[in-house]
Amino acid sequence: MNDGIKIGQLYPMQVNPNAFKRSTPGVHNQSAAGKNSFSDALDRELLKFSHHAEVRMAQRGITLPQESIHQISEAVDSAAQKGAKDSLIVLGDIAMIVNVPTRTVVTALDGGQMQSNVFTKIDSAIILK
């Protein structure tokens, strides 16, 4: 007996799953006046990790304490103020490429991978203690 869910079974191709999202009372979506929703504001504050970055961090045994994540987030804020798009952020023996506008860590390397590595497609670098 196989009762597995097939792709498209829950949401047929012509139906957009986002159409079923409920709005939270007191939180308004972006209006014509240009106001941002709470989730948009929260996205601007959070540091996100791409799937690729999460996989690389797991493979390389990289863990980040909350204090380090806070430092990286502040570095991303500084890079954004300077107009950076893609930054190399080095914290101790960990290097990360971060897409600044989306606040997303794209990949991460440990000390072994940093040596003799060429970083391309970045427009800024931040070295943290």
Q: pLDDT, tens digit, for every residue of 62-76? A: 999 999 999 999 999
- Starting at the edge strand found earlier in the chain, the sheet holding 104-110 runs 48-49, 104-110, 94-99, 86-91, 124-128
CA 38 to CA 26: how far, in whole Å? Answer: 10
Does the pLDDT at position 17 exceed 50?
A: no
Question: Given this model, what pLDDT does residue 13 score?
Answer: 44
**Average pLDDT taken over every residue of the chain:** 78
Question: Given this model, what pLDDT does residue 45 score?
Answer: 66
Phi-psi region of 113 (alpha: psi -120 to 50; beta: other; left: phi over 0): alpha
Task: Delimit the domains of the chain by residue range.
Answer: 47-128
Number of Cβ within a 10 Å radius of residue 84: 21
pLDDT in tens, 29-49: 444 444 567 666 555 668 999
Q: How confident is the model at residue 12 (pLDDT cuts 50, 70, 90)?
A: very low
Structural tokens at position 6: 């097939």
Question: Given this model, what pLDDT does residue 113 score?
Answer: 82
Contacts of 104 (CB under 8 A, 6+ apart): 47, 48, 49, 50, 53, 98
Question: Given this model, what pLDDT does residue 6 score?
Answer: 47
Question: Given this model, what pLDDT does residue 80 score?
Answer: 96
pLDDT in tens, 82-109: 999 999 999 999 999 999 999 999 999 9
**Residue 96, helix vs strand vs coil:** strand
Q: How many CA atoms lie within 13 A of 51 on its CB side?
A: 0
